[in-house]
Amino acid sequence: MKTGLYPGTFDPVTLGHEDILKRACTLVDRLVIGVAINTDKQPLFSLDERVRMVETIGRRIGKESGTKISVHPFSNLLVQCAEEVGARVIIRGLRAVSDFEYEYQMVGMNRSLNAGIETVFLMADAEYQAIASRLVKEIARLGGDVSRFVEPDVAAALYRKHRMVANPGGQ
Ligand code: ADP
């Protein structure tokens, strides 16, 4: 049984993440989606919200692909998380060259921490390659259409969240 770990912040989960998830399912029998708790990115969505959104998508893709998908929040080191969930493979998505440098360093560091864990990079379909959670949040904040970047329930959550942030009293 080959287990993979797909870690990220998922703030929020996008169609780009979803594309990578589907591809990862062709490589492993069991996929754990690691949702980062202690992220210095100061997420817009709480851990619970991010986990729930990822779970909904994971359930659907799991059914479609026959891969067992589970969601695991983590705040420890990535390799420790991989050891915890029994994953020998870490899945990462690569978008542009800008992702490469950070990922390159991370692989080097993770390899020196645990040489038994391999990192695999996947690229999304051209249609989804440019999607980044950060930009999706910005578009939603400014009232733009995010329907081509995220699932409808995620888009609704984004608009709701931005209304709450802009109008905390709810008046
Ligand atoms: P992180 O905080 O680890 O960067 P993200 O939630 O931003 O987490 O992304 C999780 C993983 O998904 C990363 O490997 C990231 O490169 C990948 N990813 C996100 N969006 C895309 C996309 N549009 N195409 C390919 N990979 C993506």
Give the integer Cα–Cα distance in Å for 40 and 104. 20
Q: Which atom of ligand 1 is the closest one to the Cα of 91?
A: 14
pLDDT value of position 131:
96
Residues carrying an active site annotation? 17, 41, 95, 133
48 Cβ neighbours under 8 A, 6+ residues apart: none
Query: CB of 171 within 8 A of CB of 49?
Result: no
Confidence of residue 67 (pLDDT cuts 50, 70, 90): very high
Percent of the chain with pLDDT over 90: 87
Confidence of residue 47 (pLDDT cuts 50, 70, 90): very high
14 Cβ neighbours under 8 A, 6+ residues apart: 128, 131, 132, 133, 136, 149, 150, 154
- Tens-place pLDDT, residues 1-42: 899 999 999 999 999 999 999 999 999 999 999 999 977 889
- Tens-place pLDDT, residues 94-152: 998 878 899 999 999 999 999 999 999 999 999 999 999 999 999 999 999 999 999 99
pLDDT value of position 41:
84
Give the integer Cα–Cα distance in Å for 11 and 42. 9
Average pLDDT along the chain: 94
Residue 71 DSSP symbol:
E
Give the integer Cα–Cα distance in Å for 36 and 28. 21
Dihedral sign, CA of 74, 77, 83, 84?
negative
pLDDT value of position 170:
60
Report CA-CA distances (Å) from 25 to 2, 29, 153. Answer: 11, 7, 23
**What tokens were used for 31?**
């996929």
Distance 171 CA to ligand 1 centre (A): 35
Diameter of the chain by CA atoms?
A: 55
Confidence of residue 171 (pLDDT cuts 50, 70, 90): low
Task: Please tell me the pTM assigned to this model.
Answer: 0.94
Dihedral sign, CA of 121, 126, 128, 134?
positive
Q: How far is CA 20 from the centre of its chain?
A: 9
Q: Which residue minimizes the CA distance to atom 9 of ligand 1? A: 8
- Tens-place pLDDT, residues 71-86: 999 999 999 999 999 9
Q: Which residue minimizes the CA distance to atom 25 of ligand 1? A: 93
